[in-house]
Amino acid sequence: MYQEYSQSAAIIFGWGAVSILGEKVKELGCKKAMCVIDKGIEGTGIPDKAIKSLKDAGIGVVIFSGVVADPPVEVVDLGGDLAKKEGVDCLIGIGGGSSMDTAKAISILLTMPGIAKDYILAKPVRYDTKTPVILVPTTAGTGSEVTSVCIISRPDINAKWSAFVNTTYAIVDPEMTLTLPRRETANTGLDALAHAAEAMTSLDCNPHSDLFGEAAIRKIAKYLVIAYNEPSNVEARTEMMLAANFAGLAFNQPLTHVGHAAADAMSGHFHTAHGYGCGICLPAAMKISGPAVPAKMRVIADALGVSLNGSETGEQLGNLVADKIRELMRAVNIKSLKESGFAREDVLSFVPDVVSSHLCNHCPVKITDEVAYKVLADIYDSYQ
Ligand SMILES: [Fe+2]
């Protein structure tokens, strides 16, 4: 019995760290970089510091601003075409998970022939990509900067599939999140919480995921509400950025499980934001996992600040953790599925999507049709 764990890329963390981007690209021997961003961020000034750093270091800059939420394979192809046409030798994903994942997926097209659909698969494969990929998160949530997975949509089949690639650096600068709107602060923070808690309860958890997952949960429990209520609070922004990064490190190998599987079904059918879906599905994922992993659930409960007497059963711990997460969701004004206008019967119809998700292979409980139905009903009924 053994466990393998590693880190996907070197991390440069700190307030203002993005100013080192150009020097790092130069050190890699690259001459022309493509910044992969979404339209929404283009006019905000957020990527300007990164672009300035590249230009100051004498690096040519190409901007691909075609990223959309839940990026589809077609967007990856467009980015790949531009990167090839411009002859770029470095990819820089600046933004949330969508931009970073698109940059990662484009790197496949710079190493392999064909189009994105050939490589983004239901059962993801690792590709030995050659073009350096540098990831600069602008939200405190996704953790995509320290994972090698890219998640790309197939709108034709309402599915999100993925691939594994090589990444080079994660430049984690909390200053990039200072103007993040409250709704995104809440959604992305809950996504980070889901990464940490699902990684710790994954069948493939390891000492690395336990260490970083627990630390991430403690930080999120302490700082998410502060970052939400006081957006310019430097300490809260810094700690939330670190928490999201730790959560990303936690789930790189164990991945996530039934919470993310259900959230993916929600975003596939309802087009809900990833973080919102992950938050809304997490309590039910913890509740169902409690009896299977009681010791781990106790650590999560303690990290969340639940008061414990030491005699709780796994089932009770799962319920306590679920209640605490719902309390946190209310504190950052997360709307229920009902309040968002989604019907119970539609949510219950996602059973096949959940059961067929490869993520359920990591769940400590076997996800049958019956269990998936129970989880989906709990997601809808227990948070209204
Ligand atoms: Fe996530």
C-alpha distance from residue 310 to each of 105, 166, 215, 317 (Å): 46, 43, 21, 10
Residues 115-169 have pLDDT tens digits of 999 999 988 899 999 999 999 999 999 999 999 999 999 888 878 889 999 999 9
H helices present in 29-96, as ranges: 39-42, 48-56, 73-86
**Cα–ligand 1 centroid distance for 172 (angstroms):** 17
For 61-100, the pLDDT digits (tens) are 999 999 999 899 999 999 999 999 999 999 999 999 999 9
* Residue whose pair of structure tokens reads 């409250």 in the numeric block: 182
Specify the pLDDT at position 40. 87
Architecture in CATH of 10-177: 3-Layer(aba) Sandwich (3.40)
pLDDT at position 86, please? 98
CA 282 to centroid of ligand 1, rounded, Å: 11
Residue 110, pLDDT score:
98
Query: Residue 228 and residue 240: Cα distance in Å, rounded?
Result: 10
Query: Residue 259 Cα, ligand 1 centroid: separation in angstroms?
Result: 9
Q: What pLDDT score was predicted for residue 194?
A: 98
Q: How far is the CA of 176 from the centre of ligand 1 (A)?
A: 19
Q: What are 254-304's pLDDT values in tens digits?
A: 999 999 999 999 988 899 999 999 999 999 999 999 999 999 999 999 999
Q: Give the pLDDT score at 268.
A: 85
| Separation CA 308–CA 311 (nearest Å) | 8
Give mean pLDDT, residues 309-335: 98
Residue 274 CA to ligand 1 center (angstroms) comes to 6
Q: Where are the domains of the chain?
A: 10-177, 182-381
CA of 294 to the centre of ligand 1 (A): 23
Instruction: Give residue-wise pLDDT tens across range 203-251.
Output: 999 999 999 999 999 999 999 999 999 999 999 999 999 999 999 999 9
Domain spanning 182-381, CATH class: mainly alpha
Q: How far is the CA of 278 from the centre of ligand 1 (A)?
A: 6
Q: Is the pLDDT of residue 12 over 80?
A: yes
